[in-house]
Amino acid sequence: MITVVDRSARVVVTGLGVLTPVGETVEDFWDAAVRGVVGTRPLDRPDAADFAGRLAGEVRGFVAPRGDGDRVTRLAVAAASAATTDAGLAPWAGDPARAGVCFGTLLGNRAALEGAVTRFHRAGGTAADAGRTDVRPERPRPVVGLADAVAREHGFLGPSSVVATACASGNSALAYAAETIRAGRADVMVAGGAEELSSGIMMMFASLRSLTDDALRPFDRNRSGLVVSEGSAALVLESYEHARRRGAHVYAELAGWASACDAHHMTAPHPEGRGARRSLERALAMAGVEPERVGHISAHGTGTPSNDSVEAAAVRAVFGDRGPAVTSLKGALGHTQGAASAIEAVACVLALRDGVIPPTANLVDPDPVCPVDVVYGAAREVPLNVAVNNAFGFGGNTACTVFTRPGFGGNAG
């Protein structure tokens, strides 16, 4: 029998879970974000002795429970468990083949990178030594464990994937999960991102001279770089019909998503933000939302000189001089790498729920070369119907998602 796929099927958000440097439950995180609490501080960990004193964002209260996998895997499982509980889907009572998982992470096989970096660094080697066989780890652990561990925890037998599109990975995972639902391959997908702090990643960003010794200051005239952090977030996505049949609470609709590549440079964004602009335009078109109806943009906003100015230019190109209110949570959280846009997606959903846009922490002196309406100093209360989530990463990866209040305009009908 041929199954007819309804590619216009609506995808809704019914559950949220998050662990961040400012809060390890959804409400604690959101309360801190709205108050502009900063969760980054000097790093003091035995496994990162070379970077002691460097600013970082740690999920300090999280103790990884017993089970398979390392810290990042357990962070993913914890966020997913919180989200499925919030959605009323734990324990799962439906067809296990109709539920799946997709998680994002920064670089993929973190363990292999860690082994190589640690060995040649401790031995005083150079970057050229990293490819030598004698510095490779003996037993690299597969990154597919992120999704697999969540699937095993809940007995999900549907699609299971991990995506690694650098700092756009969270949004990429959400898009993949939403496409899976719209294609009729699943009724429910748990999607998000997870990342842990590590000396190898600290070293990578340090070698790129991307780290700041001050504070992560998105869109500030005196911004000087990013702060590396860890965290995780998960969103339960469902087809609208599945959520309606079981009487689920719907937070928001994931109405549009898109990705594009700068095809310009491994680490630097295209000067005109062409990938960012394409992602924004295509995501809005998919959602059926005109730019003027967008009330809020959760910016990628890394606090690096080039990223913030290029992102601002892309936003201006799409939304014009009177664009929506912009904020970056990275001033408060630091850069949670592959988890960043998943955490920021949770914030978009909560902003729609409460009509509140969090401030951009650490922003004091807005940079005139970033001429967008950045919220800073205090949260802004404003009726919201549409929120856009930006995520831009190395390799020119750009990904945007569009969230709307349940039933609002566009493709919501």
Catalytic annotation present for 335: yes
Catalytic annotation present for 167: yes
Residue 21, number of CB atoms within 10 A of its CB: 27
d(CA 171, CA 42): 29
Query: Kind and range of the H or E element at 162?
Result: strand 160-163
200 neighbors 72 (Cβ within 8 angstroms): no
Question: For residue 161, which of 174, 91, 390, 401 has the smallest C-alpha distance?
Answer: 174
Helix-helix angle 305-319:274-287, to 10 degrees: 40
Question: For residue 243, which of 232, 234, 254, 256 has the smallest C-alpha distance?
Answer: 254
Of 102, 121, 154, 167, the catalytic one is: 167
Which residues are registered as beta bridge partners of 198? none
Catalytic annotation present for 242: no
The conformational region for residue 349 under phi > 0 = left, psi -120 to 50 = alpha, else beta, is: alpha
Residue 9, number of CB atoms within 10 A of its CB: 15
Give SS3 for 177. helix
The conformational region for residue 249 under phi > 0 = left, psi -120 to 50 = alpha, else beta, is: beta
Backbone angles phi, psi at 193, to 5 degrees: -155, 155
149 neighbors 160 (Cβ within 8 angstroms): no
Outline where 261-358 has alpha helix (H).
Answer: 274-287, 305-319, 330-333, 340-354
Compute CA distances 138 → 69, 113, 388, whole Å: 17, 12, 43
Backbone angles phi, psi at 373, to 5 degrees: -85, 80
Of 154, 270, 296, 335, the catalytic one is: 335
Query: Kind and range of the H or E element at 74?
Result: helix 71-86
146 neighbors 88 (Cβ within 8 angstroms): no
Question: For residue 205, which of 88, 96, 337 has the smallest C-alpha distance?
Answer: 337
Residue count (the chain): 413
Give SS3 for 412. helix
Of 300, 348, 370, 400, the catalytic one is: 300
Give SS3 for 19. strand
d(CA 90, CA 81): 8
Q: Which residues are catalytic?
A: 167, 300, 335
